[in-house]
Structure 1
Amino acid sequence: MNLIEQLDGYEKAKIRLGSCDITLAYYQELDRQLLEYRRQHNIFEVGDWIVMDSHKPEYQFYQITKDDMGSHWINLVEFRHATDEEIKAGKRLEVNQ
C-alpha cells in the first residue's frame, strides 16, 4: 500500500504534506508519490513544472504559479508535466532523449 492510500486518499495526503517537515525522508517520499499521482491523473497544481511542446522555446518549460490557477490559459493550453529529467535539466528535453 502506498503512502497516499495509507493516508486515505490524495486530498488527505496533500493536507498531511502541507503540515510537515519536508526534510524528513517520509515526507519527501510522500511528496514524490503525490507528484507521480498528479502525473498519472493529469492534475496540475501550483509549483508543478510543465512543458508546453507547441509554444516558443522560451515558454516551453514553466512552473505553475498561484496566479496561473485562476487564469483561463491553464485550461486552454495543451501541456504536460515535466519529467524528472527535464526538471533536473531545467528545460524541455527532446522526445527521443
Structure 2
Amino acid sequence: GWLLHGQEAILVPDFNTKCQCQILGEGIGFLPEHMAREAMEDGLLITRRINNPRQDSRMLLATQHAATGQVTRWIKQQFGPQGVLTGIYSDLLWRT
C-alpha cells in the first residue's frame, strides 16, 4: 500500500530481518516502535515524518469459541496474561 509507482519491494520473512535490513541501509519502511527504539537511540535508525501518515490500526485476533486445535490453544495461551505475544504486542492489545 505504500509503494510508489516503479518502486520495488524487498520481501523478508519477519520484522527482525526487516529491522536489520533497514539498519544496514537496505531499504526504508515502517517498523513497530518497540522494535526500532533501541536502534534509534543508538543512532542506527532515523525517523522521518511522512506527508500522508496512516492512522494507527489495532491488531485483531478472532477465533471460534469452540476451536480447540493445538495452534489455536497455543495462540490463545500466548495472548493470555503471562503470554509471550502479550508482551510483544502489549501496546496494541485492547481487550473486550
| TM-score of the superposed pair, with normalisation by structure 1 | 0.26
Query: Which has the bigger relative contact order, CA under 8 A and spacing at least 6?
Result: 1
| TM-score of the superposed pair, with normalisation by structure 2 | 0.26
**Highest CA radius of gyration, 1 or 2?**
2
Which structure: greater helix fraction?
A: 1
